[in-house]
Amino acid sequence: MRRFARARSLDELLVKATNRATTVDEDKTYLHQRWNAGCHDIPQLHRELPEPGFTGDVQCVRHCFRPFKKPHSPRPKHPPAPDPEPRPAPKPRRVVRWIMPNIAHLTETVRPNSRRSGAACPELDAAARHVRDFADMMRDLRGELLPSWKERVLADDLPALQGLVNGLRRDHDAVTAALTTSWRSGQVEGQVTRVKLLKHMGFGRANLGPLRQGVLHSP
């Protein structure tokens, strides 16, 4: 405001105010000596000013030394966000729920997880493919595809499925018939369950004779 009040013409106001007179001009020699001596504490220099009639504030002293201060990179307003933690691996039971059902029956939220897990682990992707192929054989009664399915499994490094293939080889004819015909063992399993129920009803004390009579006469 003092600059505008003391201006005698418009040209004085249009010129950039760089080396205009300030309240610390009379003390610049002392301030420069202290600065060169290693005292770069602006508030301390302001308190050491020897002029008893000095009325300027600390900003005047700071403005005096602004051209001599080394430039520095501006500090960010906010610290950078930390790197996101890696997503934990899904549990095996959850992965099984992704690969066991028909892929067409998976929801839109689960289907990307199934694709990502397969892309991250080629062995898991191969296992899921073999499991779905076997499920298709069971559903469509395509037992004739069993030999080619076993060859594809043995071509991959999947010890668990290869153990299953070795077990199927021992009962190849029975497994092929089960995957080809429409007959099921549900009736047999139902009769076994009925016999177990009759035995439990006798508290396990009935021998073969009474148990046989109970099986024959029970509906």
pLDDT, tens digit (0-9, with 9 covering 90-100), for 67-83: 666 655 455 455 566 67
Reply yes or no on whether the pLDDT at 202 is more than 60: yes
Reply yes or no on whether the pLDDT at 61 is more than 50: yes
Q: Do residues 9 and 38 both lie within one domain? A: yes
Average pLDDT, the chain: 77
| DSSP code for 103 | G
Domain endpoint, select from 27, 53, 68: 68
| CA 62 – CA 219 distance, rounded (Å) | 105
Q: Do residues 208 and 165 both lie within one domain? A: no
pTM for the whole structure: 0.47
What average pLDDT does range 102-112 have in this prediction? Answer: 77
The tally of domains found in the chain comes to 3
142 and 179 Cβ atoms separated by less than 8 Å = yes
pLDDT tier at 87 (50, 70, 90 boundaries)?
confident
CA 119 remoteness from chain centre: 15
pLDDT of 36: 83
pLDDT tier at 145 (50, 70, 90 boundaries)?
very high
Q: Do residues 59 and 106 both lie within one domain? A: no
Q: Do residues 156 and 123 both lie within one domain? A: yes
What does the buried/exposed string (b/e) look like for 115-126 if buried means 16 or more CB atoms within 10 Å of the residue's CB?
Answer: eebbeeeeebbb
Q: Is 26 part of any domain?
A: yes
Q: Do residues 168 and 202 both lie within one domain? A: no
Q: Do residues 112 and 162 both lie within one domain? A: yes
- Min mean pLDDT across 10-24, 156-170, 178-192 is at 10-24
Looking at residue 177, its amino acid is A
| CA 48 – CA 33 distance, rounded (Å) | 12
Burial class from Cβ neighbours inside 10 Å (0-12, 13-18, 19+) for residue 105 reads exposed
pLDDT tier at 149 (50, 70, 90 boundaries)?
very high
Q: Do residues 117 and 52 both lie within one domain? A: no
What average pLDDT does range 45-58 have in this prediction? Answer: 69
Q: Do residues 44 and 15 both lie within one domain? A: yes
156 and 129 Cβ atoms separated by less than 8 Å = no
Reply yes or no on whether the pLDDT at 161 is more than 80: yes
Q: Is 79 part of any domain?
A: no
Q: Is 88 part of any domain?
A: no
Q: Is 84 part of any domain?
A: no
Q: Is 8 part of any domain?
A: yes
Domain of 196 in residue numbering reads as: 189-217
Q: At what angle do helices 111-120 and 122-140 cross, to 10 degrees?
A: 130
Q: Do residues 174 and 194 both lie within one domain? A: no
Q: Is 127 part of any domain?
A: yes
Q: Do residues 16 and 48 both lie within one domain? A: yes
Q: Do residues 98 and 173 both lie within one domain? A: yes
Q: Is 176 part of any domain?
A: yes
Q: Is 55 part of any domain?
A: yes
Strands annotated E in the chain: none
